[in-house]
């Protein structure tokens, strides 16, 4: 096949999908912001269910990952800092790493793998079983009833999970610092929060908010675009996770450059 033709086709397909995701985001925001003024707000029952599914049911795995991430960072950094006689700086290193980078990113990856895949599978199953067409036949917009509640739940719960991740990551470092490195617990906490700036926290929360938008839109778009029966549902589920993971890393790189590298 002509490489120029192949490159052009791939580019057009990519732009088509990007346009579709942006259009879905626009329709979702329209239902969330303008819908209540028209007496057509997002379903509260569906929204509450998604809050529990995306947030409460994800706390355990996010907490587990974050706790051991903090432990690993503390052990790795202590190995190097001990030679310099600066073991106490393990505390701010863990706190800043979790707040700026690892808390938001690991939380987003967990949510993309657990919640995003489930969203793509649910909507994909509804698509191939023609339940989406049934809603449209009844003059019910699928974006209002299926996409908007999931979008709202994720943009609320992912930042909340990120805060929990930050706290448990710091706790993991505290465990290593106090019980292995013999650092006084009050001194450890003092150093952690003395070096941790407010900017480190809010930039991490901004990242998590953007990650939530990306995960929800990618998962919903891929799910609604599913074709090919049960096999298509499996492909869509895998595709949503892969694309979400890639976009999380890309967005993280871009936002880190904006927040911390552009002013250097």
Q: What is the pLDDT of residues 121-133, one digit of tens each?
A: 999 999 998 888 8
pLDDT at 28 over 70: yes
Please return the burial class of 46, using the count of CB atoms within 10 Å of its CB with bins 0-12, 13-18 and 19+. middle
- The confidence score (pLDDT) of residue 174 equals 94
What is the biggest distance separating any 2 CA atoms in the chain, rounded to whole angstroms? 71
Token pair of 87, please? 């073991």
- The confidence score (pLDDT) of residue 262 equals 67
- Say how far apart CA 48 and CA 35 lie, in whole Å: 18
CB distance 180 to 246 below 8 Å: no
DSSP string, 45-61: HHHHHHHHHHTGGGHHH
DSSP string, 10-52: HHHHHHHHHHHHHHHHHHHHHHHHTGGGGT-PPPHHHHHHHHH
Cα-based torsion angle of the residue sequence 46, 49, 53, 57 in order, rounded to the nearest 10 degrees: 170
Average pLDDT value for residue range 193-200:
90
pLDDT over 70 percentage in the chain: 98
Task: Centre a 10 Å sphere on the Cβ of residue 143 and count the other Cβ atoms it contains.
Answer: 21
CB distance 122 to 53 below 8 Å: no
Q: What is the pLDDT of residues 49-108, one digit of tens each?
A: 899 999 999 999 999 999 999 999 999 998 888 877 788 899 999 999 999 999 999 999
- Say how far apart CA 174 and CA 151 lie, in whole Å: 35
Task: Centre a 10 Å sphere on the Cβ of residue 228 and count the other Cβ atoms it contains.
Answer: 12
| Confidence class for position 138, pLDDT limits 50, 70, 90 | confident
Task: Centre a 10 Å sphere on the Cβ of residue 164 and count the other Cβ atoms it contains.
Answer: 18
- The confidence score (pLDDT) of residue 263 equals 63
Mean pLDDT across the chain, nearest whole number?
Answer: 90
- Say how far apart CA 230 and CA 49 lie, in whole Å: 25
Task: Centre a 10 Å sphere on the Cβ of residue 126 and count the other Cβ atoms it contains.
Answer: 20
- The confidence score (pLDDT) of residue 264 equals 58
Could you tell me which residues come within 8 angstroms of residue 75 by beta carbon, excluding any fewer than 6 positions away? 176, 180
The count of residues in the chain is 264
């Amino acid at each position: 096949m002509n490489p120029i033709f192949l490159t052009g086709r791939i580019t057009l397909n990519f732009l088509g999908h990007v346009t579709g995701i942006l259009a879905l985001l626009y329709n979702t925001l329209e239902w969330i912001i303008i819908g209540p003024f028209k007496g057509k707000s997002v379903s509260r029952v569906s929204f509450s269910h998604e809050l529990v599914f995306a947030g409460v049911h994800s706390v355990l795995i996010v907490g587990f990952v974050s706790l051991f991430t903090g432990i690993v960072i503390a052990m790795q950094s202590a190995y190097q800092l001990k030679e310099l006689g600066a073991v106490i700086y393990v505390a701010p290193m863990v706190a800043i790493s979790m707040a700026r980078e690892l808390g938001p990113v690991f939380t987003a990856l967990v949510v993309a793998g657990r919640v995003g895949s489930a969203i793509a599978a649910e909507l994909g199953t509804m698509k191939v079983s023609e339940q989406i067409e049934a809603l449209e036949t009844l003059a019910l917009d699928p974006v209002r009833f299926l996409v908007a509640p999931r979008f709202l739940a994720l943009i609320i719960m992912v930042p909340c999970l990120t805060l929990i991740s930050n706290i448990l990551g710091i706790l993991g470092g505290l465990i290593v610092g106090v019980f292995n490195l013999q650092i006084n617990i009050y001194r450890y906490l003092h150093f952690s929060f003395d070096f941790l700036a407010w900017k480190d926290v809010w930039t991490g929360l901004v990242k998590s908010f953007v990650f939530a938008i990306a995960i929800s839109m990618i998962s919903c778009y891929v799910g609604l675009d599913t074709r090919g029966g049960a096999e298509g549902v499996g492909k869509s589920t895998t595709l949503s996770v892969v694309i979400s993971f890639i976009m999380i890393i890309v967005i993280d790189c871009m936002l880190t450059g904006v927040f911390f590298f552009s002013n250097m």
